[in-house]
Structure 1
Amino acid sequence: MTDVTVQKQGPVGIMTLSSDKGLNIFSVELFEKMTACIDKLDADPDIRAIIITGEGKAFMAGSDVKYMLQLNIEQGMYFTHVGVQFFRKLELLRKPVIAAVNGYSMGGGTEMSMACDIRIASSKAVFCQPETGLGIIPGFNGTQRMVRLLGPGKAKELIMTAERIDAQEAYRIGLVNKVVEPEKLLDEAVAMANRIAANSPMAVAAAKLAIGRGAETDLETGIVLEEMLTRQCYDSPDRVEGMTAFVEKRKADFPPLK
């Protein structure tokens, strides 16, 4: 069994996955635990950014193949549905989510990292979508997110070959934002989360929505969405505080996200 713990460091919430064997594995129960943790962090007005990371050898080693082998079609699709719902929750969450990928990120692990807004990898991290070698495809929407991140050619290559890539290759192709040494991973993720948390939570949420939803639609629709969100920003106390603080040469004191 893989467990989930949550801790707070100022405005940053850290969700850590761990197991006795050091290889975190997805299950329906784990998805339910992670959903409860994310809901709690999302509801906490003091939390302005969230980090997901793992302990041991893996960020997330994917799903238990022995377990999946025993599933019938309905059970398999229910397991898939629960995972899809959780990853979409991460993607649509108003608060930004950073994946701090500490080790193996296999199958659903890579898919979970792609559902996060930003990915920081340990130099020891390994990424792979092994599903086609198991007679399935990346069913937690990996086929959809990878093509949007990397383009169709590279997404097809990684998914169809089931090739493993290291952190530097993941950085080169744009799968991760940054690579750091293992001992600096969490500190770097927290530092980035704090830089985000220093900005307007309302504006950060608006930017996340504009980028995320805009990438899923055509340019004209994205422009209309951006204009709508810009109007909301102009009508907010965050704009007044942020611009006043800039003029007065002081640090802005933004209210919590409502």
Structure 2
Amino acid sequence: MSIDVDVEDGIAVITINRPERLNAMDAGHYAGLSRAWTRVRDEPEIRVAVVTGAGERSFTTGADLKSFVSKPPELAEMWLTQKEQLLNRGLEVWKPVIAAVNGYCLGGGMTLLLATDIRLAAPHATFSLAEVKRGVIAGNGGTQRILSQLPYAIGMEMLLTGDPIDAETAARWGLINRVVPAETLMDEAMAYARRIAANAPLAVQAAKELAVRAREMPLTAGLRLEQMTNRMLQFTEDAAEGPKAFAEKRPAKFKGA
């Protein structure tokens, strides 16, 4: 019962490991997940992350309602806005995050999904924001991200009815990139991760940040920031290594410097 983090070859695999509870998370698991995202953000050797759930039934069903109902947080925690930040609650992680959805992706699992960058799902995966059926709303970004990632009517249907959709429907509406066989889900996710990790890490992080921030700024400001960022990157060792490797017909050896 833990949040497992394994790092190899620049790829961090984060596993929500509580399969006996469909990878539902109590306060301890959320704290562990916050530490995992902070590690991904802060450790230079990590270039990309893959997040998944243990077992074959569930990615995560989000908050373990039994644990939170029996012991709700103190009201004062409403103003501890930087405490145990999560990817979907505002922690800025510019390294790409890939979701490998191996089953139920419900509630907090969906809001986590909405904060990832590339998403693969097994055919039996199910997606829903069912909080309105429990008398609350989809927190940690559920109401804030859904309409920017799905057509208005589809996003509202999920948000207001709380009804689930299957993997094929999720792929049709662009919520996920692809549906892949369950037995090859992690292989496919790791293949994406390796392709990203092979690229220049500073450029990858800059590309993600610029694309995400573009949602919140005028085009003229975004274009200018893009120009200035590219100018800055031109002075890096990686910017010299890329063309050199291309000319020498060999894979580039990027250092993130």
Fold-level similarity (TM above 0.5): yes
Matching residue of 2:224: 224
Matching residue of 2:54: 55
Matching residue of 1:213: 213
2:11, 2:46 within 8 Å by CA — same for their partners in 1? yes
Find the residue that maps to 1:123 and give its secondary structure: coil
Matching residue of 1:94: 94
1:28, 1:79 within 8 Å by CA — same for their partners in 2? no
Q: Residues 109 and 75 (structure 1 numbering): CA distance in 2 closer, same or farther, change over 3 Å?
A: farther
Distance 2:18 2:129 in 1: 21
2:48, 2:196 within 8 Å by CA — same for their partners in 1? yes
Q: Determine whether 1:150 maps to 2:150.
A: yes
Distance 1:64 1:92 in 2: 25
Shift of residue 84, structure 1, vs aligned partner: 8.8
Distance 1:76 1:182 in 2: 43
Q: Counting helix residues as a fraction of each chain, which structure ranks higher?
A: 1
Offset from partner CA, 1:119-152 (integer Å, 9 cap, x none)? 1111111000001111211111111111111132
- Segments of structure 1 that go 5 or more residues without pairing to the other structure are none
Which 10-residue stretch deviates more, 228-237 or 112-121?
228-237
1:104, 1:126 within 8 Å by CA — same for their partners in 2? yes
Q: Determine whether 1:239 maps to 2:239.
A: yes
**TM-score of the two chains, using structure 1 as the length reference:** 0.90
Q: Residues 73 and 15 (structure 1 numbering): CA distance in 2 closer, same or farther, change over 3 Å?
A: closer
Matching residue of 1:191: 191
Shift of residue 196, structure 1, vs aligned partner: 0.3
Q: Determine whether 1:124 maps to 2:124.
A: yes
Aligned-residue identity in percent: 36
Shift of residue 74, structure 1, vs aligned partner: 4.5
**TM-score of the two chains, using structure 2 as the length reference:** 0.90
Find the residue that maps to 1:110 and give its secondary structure: helix
Instruction: Return the letter of the residue paired with 2:239.
Output: R
Matching residue of 1:18: 17
Shift of residue 168, structure 1, vs aligned partner: 0.7
1:84, 1:141 within 8 Å by CA — same for their partners in 2? no
Instruction: Return the letter of the residue paired with 2:219.
Output: L
Shift of residue 82, structure 1, vs aligned partner: 7.3
Which 10-residue stretch deviates more, 144-153 or 178-187?
144-153
Matching residue of 1:6: 5
Matching residue of 2:182: 182
Offset from partner CA, 1:17-42 (integer Å, 9 cap, x none)? 11151511122221211122233333
1:122, 1:180 within 8 Å by CA — same for their partners in 2? yes
Shift of residue 89, structure 1, vs aligned partner: 6.9
Provide the alpha-carbon RMSD of the alignment: 2.4
Report the number of matched residues.
256
